[in-house]
Amino acid sequence: QREEWRKLRDEATVSTDGVHVELAANIGTPNDVAGVLENGGEGVGLYRTEFLYMGRDKLPSEDVQYNAYKTVLEKMEGKPVVVRTLDIGGDKELPYLDLPKEMNPFLGFRAIRLCLDRQDIFRTQLRALLRASVHGNLRIMFPMIATLGEFREAKAVLLEEKAKLASEGVQVSEDIQLGIMVEIPSTAVLADQFAKEVDFFSIGTNDLIQYTMAADRMNERVSYLYQPYNPAILRLVKMVIDAAHANGRWAGMCGEMAGDATAIPLLLGLGLDEFSMSATSILPARSQISKLSRADMEKLAAQALDMQTAEEVVALVQSIEG
Ligand code: PEP
Ligand code: MG
């Protein structure tokens, strides 16, 4: 099996009926890129920039960030790199920001909410990203977007920083795709409206499941509710993918679900374009997809969407694996 995976390293990811999908990796630091390439990653689908901000006693400077982003873009040699802007708060704290304790940190002041308020932090990161954009194929993604207003405001800040750099004579790439994470149910529900304004979606199922099921992703006692196979989750995923395609955009997924062998047949059937997962899951996923027919998986996904429970969906997928 390992031998087979190694052979797939430099291959495209194609179903038996010729449908191409992209298998990308989730990374946390520039050091992770080596593993992405060793495992045949076709891109970085989620660069979690939080690590740049953690484990130090003050905010990282624009240059520290620029160097990290540049390194990742260069090492990926023109393959797409989706960088997520700062997603701090919730389970990820930054002691030096001295934020007040909250009753419900997962529902509180975090990610894009914090960045739109603390624009000094946001603008520094955006400038570093824009400067680094000339070194590869950069895509920028905002986390925890709940309303169109938030997206528009964040995009306006990005365009302002871009204009400032241009006036300073600094080179910036002209084709940076701009997308959002879909990890809050309101955004999945209004995906058709978002799709008119964003270049892409990346579905963050780790949070989307927790917010849809009202079940804390860290709490063992409610983990029976935290189910990617629940038809409610599958229907939200379908809405997002369909909205993207109806508007000529692409849809990816960067939550754990994207690398899950039971979910992959369903996601292929729902039309997901990009799957971003831990690097070590890429070759097994490529092997799995190369043995599946997208047309058959479309039928499987349609059946799953009409089921009532996660258990029924799992049994359905297992029935094709034989
Ligand atoms: C997600 O919510 O699915 C996601 C990828 O983001 P994180 O796990 O960093 O919250
Ligand atoms: Mg998330």
CA distance 198 to 177: 8
CA of 94 from ligand 1 middle (Å) equals 17
Which ligand 1 atom is at minimum distance from the Cα of 210?
Answer: 2
Q: Give me the pLDDT at residue 322, please.
A: 57
146-176 residue pLDDT tens: 999 999 999 999 999 999 999 999 999 999 9
**Pairwise CA distance, residues 227 & 210, whole Å:** 9
Q: Does ligand 1 lie within 6 Å of residue 303's CB atom?
A: no
Please provide residue 237's backbone torsions phi and psi, each rounded to the nearest 5 degrees: -60, -45
Which residue in 250, 201, 234, 245 sits closest to 300, CA to CA? 234
pTM of the model as a whole:
0.97
pLDDT at 100: 85
SS3 18: coil
Low-confidence ranges of the chain (pLDDT < 50): none
**Nearest-5° Cα angle at 250, 34 to 229:** 85
User: Ligand 2 mean position to 192 CA, how many Å?
Assistant: 21
**Ligand 1 pocket, 110 CB below 6 A?**
no
- Rounded to a whole number of angstroms, the CA Rg of the chain reads 19
CB of 150 shorter than 6 A to ligand 1: no
Cα-to-centroid distance, 183 and ligand 2 (Å): 6
- Give residue 6's pLDDT: 80
d(CA 237, CA 271): 10
Q: How many CB atoms lie within 10 A of CB 208?
A: 25
ipTM of predicted assembly, 2 dp: 0.99
Q: Quick one: how many helices (H) and strands (E) in the chain? A: 15, 9
